[in-house]
């Protein structure tokens, strides 16, 4: 039988800049690439009033064509319906392969706009402009894009790297306190899995961070992204170490699902880290002392066993069956073995934990 081999040359960019500085959104000329003919700003209705209209005005002053598209804020906007509507609007405005997308908003906007960029005309350029702390410290970097379905979160998506990530720390000045805390959980996840020194720094400086000390917030973002960029560079498609960044997310995504996404992602991950750290303790991977440190770090952010008790263990376990890390119906978890490190066996970073153990942990945490 005749056969042929396709030898592809690398065509996707292998690197992109991450800029962290106050005022970057006011100076798009300093970071916009010149080859884009039309910029589509995708944002939500809240950010549109605060930041998007001003950004559009600055682009127009530069002589650039723009199209401003808005969706409602919240996780439920990450839908196939919204993706199709936005794409249809872009087609109607003659957006082509030279069009670029500016994803201006939090994680929802970054995921949705990034997925549109990955599929529109088989892939166009986009830039992440995160405006929430959660997006700044995590979701804006790494190229994960996705939408949700009724079956679960982020089950349909693509890896599509942005051309740049522009972190304007002044966006945090208008962020509601609940959203600020929402982002802290993803930074804490980075520190718990990779960097004990940053965990200690986080605990020591939490008061200043919650008071929005700009220097500490920028330091927080830098510390988290330093971890994220290293992991992504080594494992872009999440075949190995990048899976560690799902710590807290098996339980977290389950909680989001059973609350129909009314529970904010970061808070869900916060509860997930509490439960999954307790699993590691139960499996004798983590000491009582280290678990207590994690509990103490989560408590000032509103994550306690008492609040976890409002979720039914059987519903949480049933919802974990939709997790992307499942294999043959079995659910896998990232397990801490210390603050700053996780269990790893022969390059495997997620591990099977049976439902009985998870159920016992949930009951133990909430029995008081």
Supply the residues annotated as catalytic. Answer: 122, 144, 186, 228, 238, 242, 246, 249, 253, 265
Q: Rounded to a whole number, what is the largest CA-CA distance in the chain?
A: 69
Contact of 57 with 119, CB cutoff 8 Å: no
Q: In 204-237, which positions are buried (b, 16+ CB within 10 angstroms) versus exposed (e)?
A: ebbeebbeeeeebbbbbbebbbebbbebbeebbe
Give the DSSP per-residue string, 60-106. Answer: HHTT-EEEEEEE-SSGGGSSHHHHHHHHHHHHHTT--TTEEEEEEES
- How far apart (Å, rounded) are the C-alpha atoms in residues 159 and 180? 26
Alpha helices by DSSP H, listed for the chain, are: 45-47, 53-61, 80-92, 107-119, 133-134, 177-194, 196-210, 214-234, 249-258, 265-282, 288-298, 305-308, 313-320, 355-366
């Amino acid at each position: 039988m005749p056969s042929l081999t396709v030898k592809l040359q690398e065509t996707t960019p292998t690197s992109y800049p991450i800029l962290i500085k106050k005022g970057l959104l006011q100076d798009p000329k300093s970071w916009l690439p010149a080859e884009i003919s039309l910029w589509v700003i995708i944002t939500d209705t809240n950010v549109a009033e605060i930041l998007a209209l001003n950004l559009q005005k600055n682009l127009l002053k530069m002589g650039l064509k723009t199209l401003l598209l808005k969706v409602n804020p919240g996780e439920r906007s990450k839908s196939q319906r919204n993706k199709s509507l936005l794409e249809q609007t872009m087609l109607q405005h003659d957006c082509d392969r030279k069009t670029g997308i500016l994803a201006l908003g939090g994680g929802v906007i970054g995921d949705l706009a990034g997925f549109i960029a990955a599929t529109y005309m088989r892939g166009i350029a986009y830039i992440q402009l995160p405006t929430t702390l959660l997006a700044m410290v995590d979701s804006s970097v790494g190229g994960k894009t996705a939408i949700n379905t009724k079956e679960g979160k982020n089950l349909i998506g693509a890896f599509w790297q942005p051309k740049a990530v522009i972190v304007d720390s002044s966006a945090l000045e208008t962020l509601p306190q609940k959203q600020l805390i929402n982002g802290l959980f993803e930074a804490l996840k980075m520190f718990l899995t990779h960097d004990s020194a940053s965990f200690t720094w986080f605990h020591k400086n939490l008061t200043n961070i919650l008071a929005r000390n700009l220097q500490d917030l920028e330091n927080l973002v830098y510390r988290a992204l330093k971890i994220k960029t290293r992991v992504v560079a080594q494992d872009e498609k999440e075949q190995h170490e990048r899976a560690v960044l799902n710590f807290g997310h098996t339980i977290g995504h389950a909680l989001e699902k059973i609350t129909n996404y009314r529970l904010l992602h970061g808070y869900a991950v916060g509860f997930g880290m509490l439960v999954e750290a307790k699993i590691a303790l139960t499996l004798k991977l983590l000491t009582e002392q280290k678990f207590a440190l994690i509990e103490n770090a989560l408590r000032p952010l509103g994550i306690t066993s008492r609040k976890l008790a409002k979720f039914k263990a059987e519903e949480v376990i049933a919802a974990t069956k939709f997790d992307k890390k499942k294999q043959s119906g079995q659910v896998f978890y990232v397990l801490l073995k210390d603050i700053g490190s996780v269990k790893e066996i022969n390059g495997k970073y997620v591990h099977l934990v049976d439902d009985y153990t998870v159920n016992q942990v949930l009951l133990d945490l909430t029995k008081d």
